[in-house]
Amino acid sequence: MWLPIFGLILGVILGLLTDIRIPEEYSNYLSIAVLAALDTLLGGMRAYLQNLYDEKVFVSGFFFNIILAASLAFLGVHLGVDLYLAAVFAFGVRLFQNIAVIRRILLAKWTKSPEKNL
């Protein structure tokens, strides 16, 4: 359980240390991609806790969601419609749902056996 969190921290440190910066005009795409990635990550966690986890689904979903979100934002920019808002909305809703499910599962597990951690 701790390894993914450690990986997240490692990624953040790596990103901060390497001082990578993307051009201002692409920051929209990256933000939407980050949202998609977070959503996928939480979805994966939820699936894992529900014992529905599938490695292939998770990894493919991760990249597919990111690409879809970024291309949606790209299309929105070129159509003059803020299409990325659709992605933000969809991912935001799913994010909250996933978090709610995770919270419930964790809560249920904790009330069942308080001393036993995952």
Partner 1 sequence: MKKDIKWGFTGISIIVGLMLAIQFQTVKQPKIADTRDGWELRTQILAEQQLQSKLLTEIRELEAQASSYETQRSQSKETALKQTLGELKRESGQTKVTGDGIIITIKPLAEAELLGETIHSISPELLKRLINELNMYHAEHISINGQRVVNTTVIREINGEPKIDGLPLSNYPITVRVLSSDVQNLRDRIKVSKVIEQFFIDNLSVEVSDPVKKLTVPPYQNAIKSKYLEPAGKE
Binding site for partner 1 (CB under 8 A): 3-16, 19-22, 24, 27, 30-31, 33-34, 37-38, 40-41, 44, 48, 53, 55, 58-59, 62
- CB under 8 A, 24+ apart: contacts of 24-30: 28/73, 28/77, 28/84, 29/70, 29/73, 29/74
Distance CA 37, CA 115 (A): 32
- Judged by beta carbon, residue 6 or residue 96, the one nearer partner 1 is 6
Token pair of 109, please? 């597990």
Q: Which residue lies nearer to partner 1 by CB, 16 or 79?
A: 16
Angle at CA of residue 6, ends 51 and 12, nearest 5°: 120
Residue 77 vs 111, nearer CB to partner 1: 77
| Rounded least distance, CB 36 to partner 1, Å | 10
Give the HSE-up count for residue 54: Cα atoms under 13 Å, Cβ half-sphere: 5
At its nearest, how many Å lie between partner 1 and the CB of residue 75? Answer: 20
| Token pair 């240390």 in the structure block, residue | 17
Q: How far is the CB of 47 from partner 1 (least distance, A)?
A: 10
Q: Which is nearer to partner 1, 23 or 114 (CB)?
A: 23
